[in-house]
Every structure is written in structure tokens, then in C-alpha cells.
A and B are shown apart, each in its own frame.
Chain A
Amino acid sequence: MDFFSALRVSASGMAAERERVNMASSNLANAETTRTAEGGPYRRLDPVFESVVLDEAQGATGVEVAEVRQGSAEGRPVYLPGHPDADQHGFVRMPDVSAVHEVVNLLSAQRGYEANASAVETTKTMAQRALDIIR
């Protein structure tokens, strides 16, 4: 068998989950950001996963981040009259980031990452067993 295709599959899963963690962290860090380079409040990032066939013959199906969805550019209006970015009615457009949503996303990504990591561990054990035949 080809151990490397199994490792590539797990690596693609770990990379995708890490990207999800990065985006969830960015969203949390920017939960109150009202100014961005493109103007307006920060827009939350959400990765969209897509399965990708790495090796047809081996049945190796990996995963990749196909696109990154962005949250609404409008944000949600919060009444903060003293804020420097408040409009004439005292409303500030805050990012549409929900802390609960992001933390759940982080946890789910962590579990996914761990599952892939233990698949790598199993792959290594199997490779060792195969090498033990010739000992």
C-alpha cells in the first residue's frame, strides 16, 4: 500500500481545520473592529470545505478550503453615541461576529484536527508493523 497517500489525506484535513481555527480566531479578535482597509466594519470569515480526490486508485479523498465566505458588509447597528465612528443618529456599525458561534467553531475544528492527528498516528503504527515483517 501507499502510506504516503493516507498521510496526504490526513495532512489535508489538518491544514483545512487549521485554516478554520485561523479564521475563527481572526473573527474573535476583530469582533469589535469598526474600521477596515476596504471601509466599513470587519466582515467575518467562514471557510467552505470541499472534498478533493488526491489519488483515485488508492481511494484517497482529501479536503481543501474551496472558498472563504464573508459576513455582511453592513454589520449590525449598535447605539453608541460617543463612538468616533457613530453616524448622526448615534449608531455604530459593528461586525456581525457572534462569539458563541466562533467558539463552537473553534471546538469543532479542534476535534477535527485531533481526529486527523490520530489517523496519522495509526498510519505510522501500520507502517512500523509492515517494516517489522522483515525483522
Chain B
Amino acid sequence: MKIFDEIASLERAHDVRGRRHTVLAGNLANADTPGFAPLDVDFDAAMAATEAAATEAAATEAAATERATSGTAVSGAAERGFDATAAAIATAEELAGRAGLDGNTVDVDKTMIALAENGLQYGAAARAAGKKLNILRYVASDGLG
């Protein structure tokens, strides 16, 4: 539905932020693992990938609706969106510091800052989605809610 389109994009942002959080937490857990290089999710690339996957899903769905009772199964394009996010996980130079004697390049300070920033962005997306839903609720209750 049209009115849910903006919430859908916030939802995708939420998903990517959530994954980035897991990846950054992994860096902190491996701050003392010999030879470990920090990983990160490229937010823009991941968003573009999930957006493309979602568009593809919508197209598939529209085609399926046209064929109505043809019984063609809708492919899991949403899952491909998740795969797209997974593909955007790569070693991150900007989170790396000087390698110690054990070859570990995780910079705990940089990672903590990225983690905090990502958490705030996640909260902002959540807030925005909440506000959107509130607007819909207001309209749905004839402006009385």
C-alpha cells in the first residue's frame, strides 16, 4: 500500500542498522583475537541493495497478482535483501588502528564511537517510524485520536 511505503524504507534502515550493530559488537568481542581485522557494514551500499531487492519483490508481487490464480509462488526477494546486506559486510579500514604484536587491528575507541552513532541512528529511525504510525492512527480515527 502507498501510505506504508515510507515506513517500509525506515524498516529497511532499521534492519541495516541492526546488522551493523551486530557486526560492530563482533569487533569488540574480537578486540584481543590475534590477526583479527575489524568488519563493518557499508550503510549506503546495504540500503541500496535492500532497496533494489524490495523493488524486485514488489515487481514479482505485482506480476503474481496479475496472474491471480495461476499459482506461481512469489520468490523470496525479501530474503535476497538480507543477503545483499550480508554482502555489504567487509573489513573496514576506518575502524582499524595500528596493528599490535598479535596482528590485531581493532581500534576499540573508533568501534565504540561507531557503535554509539549507529545506535542513535537506529533510535532515530525507530522514532520516525513511530511518528509515521501515529499520523496514520490520527487519520484513521477521523482526527479524534
Residues of B within 8 A of A59 (CB): 19, 22-23, 26, 39, 41, 85-86, 89
A6 touches B25 (CB 8 A): yes
Q: Does A29 have its Cβ within 8 Å of any Cβ on chain B? A: no
Query: Which of A48, A115, A123 interacts with B31 by CB under 8 Å?
Result: A115
CB distance from B30 to the nearest CB of A (A): 5
Interface flags, B115-138, vs A, CB<8A=1, else 0: 110010011001101100100000
A9 touches B126 (CB 8 A): no
Residues of A within 8 A of B89 (CB): 59
Bound Cα distance from A34 to B28, whole angstroms: 38
- Place the interface of chain B in its size category: 35 or more
Bound Cα distance from A1 to B82, whole angstroms: 10
Residues of B within 8 A of A111 (CB): 108
Residues of A within 8 A of B133 (CB): 133-134
Bound Cα distance from A59 to B92, whole angstroms: 14
Interface flags, B22-54, vs A, CB<8A=1, else 0: 111111111111101001010000000000000
Residues of B within 8 A of A63 (CB): 29-30, 32-33
Among B29, B30, B116, B127, residue most surrounded by chain A Cβ atoms (within 10 Å) = B29
Beta-carbon contacts under 8 Å, A10-56 to B: 10, 12-13, 16-17, 20, 48-51, 55-56
Bound Cα distance from A1 to B119, whole angstroms: 13
CB distance from B65 to the nearest CB of A (A): 28
| Interface CB pairs A-B, < 8 A, 6 | A1-B17, A6-B21, A48-B34, A51-B33, A112-B32, A115-B28
Interface contacts beyond A9-B22, A118-B112: sample of 12 additional A-B pairs, CB < 8 Å, sorted by A: A1-B17, A5-B22, A6-B21, A10-B28, A13-B29, A49-B30, A50-B33, A57-B83, A59-B41, A130-B14, A133-B130, A134-B133
